[in-house]
Every structure is written in structure tokens, then in C-alpha cells.
Homo-oligomer: A and B are copies of this chain.
Amino acid sequence: MARPLLTGILMSALSLSALPTLAADLENGQKLARKCSACHGKDGLSKVPDVPNLAGQPALYLEKSLKGFRDGKREDRRMTLMAEPLTDAEIKDLAGWYASFELTVTMLE
């Protein structure tokens, strides 16, 4: 009589993987990123010495950073102000947009 239990487990696994994945809306990310460009550059390359480049950063890192500023875990007066009004979905869109930039690196020898 093991069959019903096994079926139940398989069904749970299927329904979990069938959950809609929250994909970033890159078009919305691009729109939201206009506010960031004064400091982080239109191309995601910083124009300010103590401000990081965002171009090509991993999406997960960008999400973590923005939520950190928004939720008071990471401190920066300017970034707290910028991140405060953002929803989780908007943060995902912004992160997805900057993560979509392709980076090429040239190192000193």
C-alpha cells in the first residue's frame, strides 16, 4: 500500500515546480534605473568616487544590497533615501536590469 503516499509526494514536487517564477521586468527596471544614473551612470559605471559600478553585478547581490539599504541593515544616507520607497518587485526589476549588462575586464599584467 505504498503507492498512494508515493503519488502524493510526486504531486507535491510537481506543484512546487509549477509555481510561477517571479521574473524581473527589465523594461520596468530600466525605467526605475533613471533615478540611479546621476551617481551610478547611465551605463552602470559610477561617476562618483565613493559610489560603486552596478553594471553586470549579480542580480542576487544587487537585490540584497537594495533591501539592506531599504530595511536599515546597510547604511548610506543617499541610498536609504533612494531605496526606501521601493517594493520587492521593483528591486527585482532594477537588479535584473543592471545584471543584464555584459562586462568585459582587462587586467594589468
Contacts and interface: CB of A to CB of B under 8 A. Distances in A.
A53 B58 CA distance: 8
Contacts of A44: 105, 107
Interface stretch (A6-14, A15-23, A79-87, A95-103): A95-103
How many copies altogether? 2
Contacts of A46: 57-58, 61
Contact of A103 (B53, B58, B75): B53
B56 A53 contact: yes
Interface in A22-76: 26, 43-46, 48-53, 55-61, 64, 73-75
What 3 pairs between A and B have smallest CB-CB spacing?
A: A102-B106, A104-B104, A49-B60
